[in-house]
């Protein structure tokens, strides 16, 4: 039976991604072999760490939540011709807004509290992404650099508030008090930490997919990203669309911060490393799916597996945890390269291939 | 009472030190961008350079060996970037971001694998110390604060002049600029676009590695995860501010270094200001100089565009 267009497309894409992941693990083995460890043992402990028990599956899903949000944020922006690589800072702004509001306002019923937190964190991230968007449109300052440079500022703001005005009552650790229980995203499996943030993340991806592909405004976003001069000559207000895409992207990235503070952790504290957090990984999450909002769900889960797995790889196989960055980067390179090869074989991933350079 | 004259000189002296790694990385990136290739991986490359320089410097007890190791590591990352971006025609944002994370991860990975620690716990490395030129040191006030820099700073200032000549007065510089402005036309007159871009990116990577080596061997004598703290990105901002010209980049790096140093020294004279606020200032300045520079910037026309020989316009 000859495979028809759509089926052939999905079979081809699935096959090439699976093959790229295998090749990626193969290439990563070089680094594990170089330090005298056995890659097979290492990968076994990786999978064991990510899937070994119901508890570890819950942890893997929890780690995927911020990655799906930041990945979706990157996808929306890149798709609309704005290179927002400041998801890390926007995530922190969302986390700051969530913690500050949740600890400052009087205790409200949950059905008011959670929507309020969603609004303030979205606004905080949108504001933070709006600044570089404004600087790009008004002054032509490259958003690639401005969004990135703005990542470090919220990091120091967090450092200030968790050791100053919002430090916990005991004044021992650099973190805020725990936010009230009604402001927390509840767990949806009793006994496990996995919380409603996962559902929010998946819903966000579906909504963004519908917006970009099924509405005329979404079409204008994509047209601006696919071919700016053509979009402009079609009468699309490209500057306004880029500004809106950036604001939407920043707001979505901020939800990752909301889910960390109101969901997973319950308090705002300074991450041990701001240098390569969920924000940066999110860019890779988006790139490997060729900027597809629904694909982000899968790649977010995949990166979640890698993160949880590499923690157990360090414990179980003595492979330094920094291996996660190496694997992540190699996976992006192999998947992107496979898109290139696929195109030569006559497959197309979707409109506007990210692997392709301008 | 603060002695403001002395304060100003101390600020400038420290500012030169802050400017040095930014200058070195920017001098490399300027050539890459002039040839039409954006190398976004230099933040990670600097981290790799810093780690390799520390490890090899510490093993051999010779900082020059460390320096060389850092540069070689950077060169390899630059080579990987130009291979993927130019030979495979992959998107330069994709290759830059993934190599940034790759090189950053590799630096921490190697360091941990070799030493068993994530920071320089109990390890010593010979550092590039300030050269004390007696004649200069005798100059009152300025001598001991500004004119006692380490050898790498003197080398990079000489390098600025050499690179300015290479960029604007030699055939090589002309070729590089031609390739960055119009690769098709350059190819038609017989310039090998690929060779020029490979050379520029490998050189740019090596300079980013050198900048990292500067941080671990001259500035801190340490290595730890995240020690480059965004300075690779600030260097890219300085390239734009310096309009892709070595001498202007030197000026840009110095202005940035002094302003940054002023912010840091404010901690000493005004301890009531939260130090975190002062630590955000380098990033705020970088954004400000980008905004100022972009009003008059003339980007290399082919920047970010891969070159496909088969699509060139003959004529």
Q: How high is the pLDDT of residue B143?
A: 66
CB B249 within 8 A of CB B238: yes
Query: Is residue B236 less than 8 Å (CB to CB) from chain A?
Result: yes
Number of domains in chain B: 1
Name the β-bridge partners of A356: B90
pLDDT top residue among B221 and A1: B221
Q: Residue B258 is part of which domain span?
A: 4-311
From B142's Cα to the closest Cα of chain A, the distance in A is 33
Which of B126 and A64 is assigned the larger pLDDT?
A64
CA distance A217 to A38: 52
CB contacts of A144 in chain B (<8 Å) are: 40, 93
The whole-number pLDDT of residue A315 equals 87
Most B CBs within 10 A among A133, A276, A323, A329, hence the mutation to make, goes to: A329
Q: What is the pLDDT of residue A189?
A: 86
Task: With H, G, I as helix, E, B as strand and everything else as coil, classify residue A187.
Answer: strand
B235-246 pLDDT, tens digit per residue, is 999 998 888 999
What is the DSSP track for A230-279?
HHHHTT--HHHHHHHHHHHHHHHHHHHHHIIIIIIISS-B--S--TTSHH
Average pLDDT over residues A335-339: 89
pLDDT at B80: 96
Q: How confident is the model over B107-135, as pLDDT tens digits?
A: 999 998 888 877 766 677 888 877 777 77
Please indicate whether, in this complex, the C-beta atoms of B287 and A324 are within 8 angstroms of each other. Answer: no
The residues in B 9-38 lying below 8 A from A, measured between CB atoms, are: none
**What pLDDT shows up at residue A334?**
93
Q: What is the DSSP letter of A181?
A: G
Lookup: tokens for B258 = 């002094």
Q: Evaluate whether B229 touches A152 at the Cβ level (below 8 Å).
A: yes
| Cβ-based contacts of B281 with chain A (< 8 Å) | none
A73 vs A163, residue with greater confidence = A73
Contacts of A340 in chain B (CB under 8 A): 88-90
In terms of C-beta distances under 8 Å and separation of at least 24 residues, what long-range contacts does A112-119 make, across chains too? A113/A180, A113/A182, A113/A183, A114/A183, A114/A185, A114/A262, A117/A183, A117/A258, A117/A262, A118/A255, A118/A258
> Given CA atoms B175, A358, A225, A73 in this order, what sign does their dihedral have?
negative
pLDDT-wise least confident of A268-282, A312-326, B207-221: A268-282
Q: Which residue of B has its CA nearest to A358?
A: B305
What is the C-alpha separation between A124 and A256, in angstroms, rounded? 12
CA distance A283 to chain B (A): 8
The per-residue b/e assignment along A171-194, b for 16 or more CB within 10 angstroms, e otherwise, is eeebbbbbbbeebbbeeeeeeeeb
User: How many Å apart are CA A301 and CA A298, to the nearest integer?
Assistant: 5
Residue A2 banded pLDDT, cuts 50, 70, 90:
low
ipTM value: 0.89
Q: What is the pLDDT of residue B91?
A: 87
Q: Chain B residues with CB inside 8 Å of A141's CB?
A: 287, 290-291, 294
Q: What's the CA gap between B108 and A30, in Å, rounded?
A: 16
- Work out the pLDDT band at A274, boundaries 50, 70, 90: very low
Q: Is the CB of A326 less than 8 angstroms away from the CB of B106?
A: yes
Mean residue pLDDT of chain A comes to 89
Phi, psi of A356 (to 5 degrees): -75, 140
Measured distance CA(A79)–CA(A351) in Å, rounded: 10
Tens digit of each residue's pLDDT (9 = 90 or more) over A235-254: 999 999 999 999 999 999 99
Is the Cβ of B115 closer than 8 Å to some Cβ of chain A? no
Q: Among candidates B131, B130, B110, B96, which has minimal Cα distance to B51?
A: B110
**DSSP string for B213-279:** HIIIIIIIS--BTTTTTTHHHHHHHHHHHTTT-HHHHHHHHHHHHHHHHHHHHHHHH-TTS-HHHHH
CATH classification of the domain holding B188: 1.10.3470
* pLDDT greater than 70 at residue A354: no
Q: Are A281 and A56 in contact (CB under 8 A)?
A: no
A306 touches chain B (CB under 8 A): no
In the 8-state DSSP scheme, what is residue B315? -
Convert the pLDDT of each residue in A167-208 to its tens digit: 888 888 888 889 988 889 988 888 888 999 999 999 999 999
Other C-beta atoms closer than 10 Å to the C-beta of A106 total 5
B109 vs A31, A156, A355: nearest CB:
A31
pLDDT at A348: 62
Distances in Å between the Cα of B149 and the Cα atoms of A308, B3, B112, B218, B297 are 46, 23, 31, 10, 32
Fold adopted by A54-316: ABC transporter involved in vitamin B12 uptake, BtuC (1.10.3470)
pLDDT band at B174 (very low <50, low <70, confident <90, very high): very high
- The predicted pLDDT at position B97 comes to 92
Tens digit of pLDDT for each residue in A8-43? Answer: 778 888 888 999 999 999 999 999 999 988 999 999
Task: Look at residue B10 in the predicted model and tell me its pLDDT.
Answer: 84
Report phi then psi at A222, rounded to 5: -70, -35
Of residues B73 and B142, more confidence is placed in B73
Unique residue bearing structure tokens 């590039």: B128
A246, burial (CB in 10 Å: exposed 0-12, middle 13-18, buried 19+): buried
Q: Residue B216 has what pLDDT? A: 93
Contact of B303 with B314, CB cutoff 8 Å: no
Of A277-286, B20-29, B290-299, the range with the lowest mean pLDDT is B290-299
| pLDDT tens string B181-214 | 888 889 888 899 999 999 999 999 999 999 999 9
Given pLDDT bands bounded at 50, 70 and 90, which one contains residue A108? Answer: confident
Residues A115-150: tens digit of each pLDDT: 999 999 999 999 999 999 999 999 888 898 899 999
**Rounded average pLDDT over B277-283:** 88
């Amino acid at each position: 039976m000859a495979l028809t267009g759509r089926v052939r497309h999905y079979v081809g894409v699935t096959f090439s991604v699976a093959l790229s992941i295998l090749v990626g693990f193969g290439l990563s083995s070089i680094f594990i072999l170089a330090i005298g460890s056995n890659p097979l043992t290492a990968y076994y402990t990786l999978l064991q760490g990510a899937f070994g028990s119901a508890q570890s599956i819950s942890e893997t899903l929890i780690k995927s939540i911020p990655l799906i949000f930041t990945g979706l944020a990157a996808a929306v922006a890149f798709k609309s011709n704005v290179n927002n690589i400041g998801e890390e800072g926007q995530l922190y702004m969302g986390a700051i807004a969530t913690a500050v509001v949740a600890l400052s306002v009087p205790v409200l019923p949950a059905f008011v509290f959670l929507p309020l937190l969603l609004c303030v964190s979205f606004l905080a991230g949108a504001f933070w992404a709006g600044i570089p968007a404004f600087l790009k449109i008004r002054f032509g300052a490259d958003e690639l650099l401005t969004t990135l440079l703005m990542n470090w500022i919220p990091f120091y703001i967090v450092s200030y508030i968790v050791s100053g005005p919002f430090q916990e009552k005991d004044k021992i650790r650099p973190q805020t008090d725990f936010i009230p229980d009604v402001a927390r995203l509840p767990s949806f499996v009793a006994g496990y930490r996995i919380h409603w943030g996962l559902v929010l993340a998946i819903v966000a991806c579906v909504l963004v997919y519908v917006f970009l592909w099924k509405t005329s405004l979404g079409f204008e976003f994509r047209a601006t990203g696919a071919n700016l001069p053509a979009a402009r000559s079609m009468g699309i207000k490209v500057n306004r669309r880029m500004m809106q895409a950036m604001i939407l992207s920043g707001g979505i990235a901020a939800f990752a911060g909301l889910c960390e503070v109101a969901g997973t952790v319950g308090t705002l504290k300074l991450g041990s490393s701001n240098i390569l957090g969920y924000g940066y990984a999110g860019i890779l999450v988006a790139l490997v799916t060729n900027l597809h909002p629904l694909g982000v769900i899968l790649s977010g889960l995949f990166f979640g597996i890698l993160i949880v797995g590499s923690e157990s790889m360090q414990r179980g196989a003595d492979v330094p945890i920094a291996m996660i960055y190496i694997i992540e980067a190699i996976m992006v390179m192999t998947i992107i390269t496979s898109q290139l090869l696929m195109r030569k074989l006559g497959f197309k991933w979707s409109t506007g291939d990210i692997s392709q350079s301008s | 009472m603060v002695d403001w004259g002395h304060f100003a000189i101390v600020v400038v002296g420290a500012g030169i030190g802050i400017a040095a790694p930014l200058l070195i990385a920017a001098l490399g990136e300027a050539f890459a961008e002039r040839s039409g290739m954006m190398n976004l991986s230099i933040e990670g490359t600097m981290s790799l350079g810093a780690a390799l320089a520390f490890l090899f410097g510490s093993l051999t007890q010779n900082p020059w060996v460390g320096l060389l190791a850092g540069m070689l590591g950077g060169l390899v990352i630059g080579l990987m970037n130009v291979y993927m971006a130019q030979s495979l025609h992959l998107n330069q944002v994709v290759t830059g971001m993934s190599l940034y994370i790759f090189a950053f991860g590799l630096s921490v990975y190697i360091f941990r694998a070799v030493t068993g620690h994530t920071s320089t716990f109990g390890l010593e490395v010979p550092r590039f110390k300030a050269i004390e030129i007696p004649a200069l040191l005798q100059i009152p006030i300025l001598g001991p604060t500004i004119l006692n820099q380490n050898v790498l700073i003197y080398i990079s200032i000489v390098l600025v002049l050499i690179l300015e000549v290479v960029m604007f007065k030699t055939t090589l510089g002309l070729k590089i600029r031609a390739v960055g402005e119009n690769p098709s036309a350059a190819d038609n007159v017989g310039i090998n676009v690929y060779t020029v871009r490979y050379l520029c990116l490998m050189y740019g990577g090596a300079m980013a590695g050198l900048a990292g080596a500067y941080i671990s061997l001259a500035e801190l004598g340490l290595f730890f995860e995240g020690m480059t703290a965004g300075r690779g990105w600030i260097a890219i901002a300085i390239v734009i501010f310096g309009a892709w010209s070595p001498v202007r980049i030197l000026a840009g790096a110095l202005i940035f270094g002094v302003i940054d140093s002023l912010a840091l020294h404010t901690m000493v004279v005004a301890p009531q200001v939260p130090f975190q606020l002062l630590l955000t200032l380098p990033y705020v300045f970088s954004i400000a100089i980008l905004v100022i520079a972009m009003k008059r910037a003339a980007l290399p026309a082919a920047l970010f565009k891969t070159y496909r020989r088969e699509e060139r316009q003959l004529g």
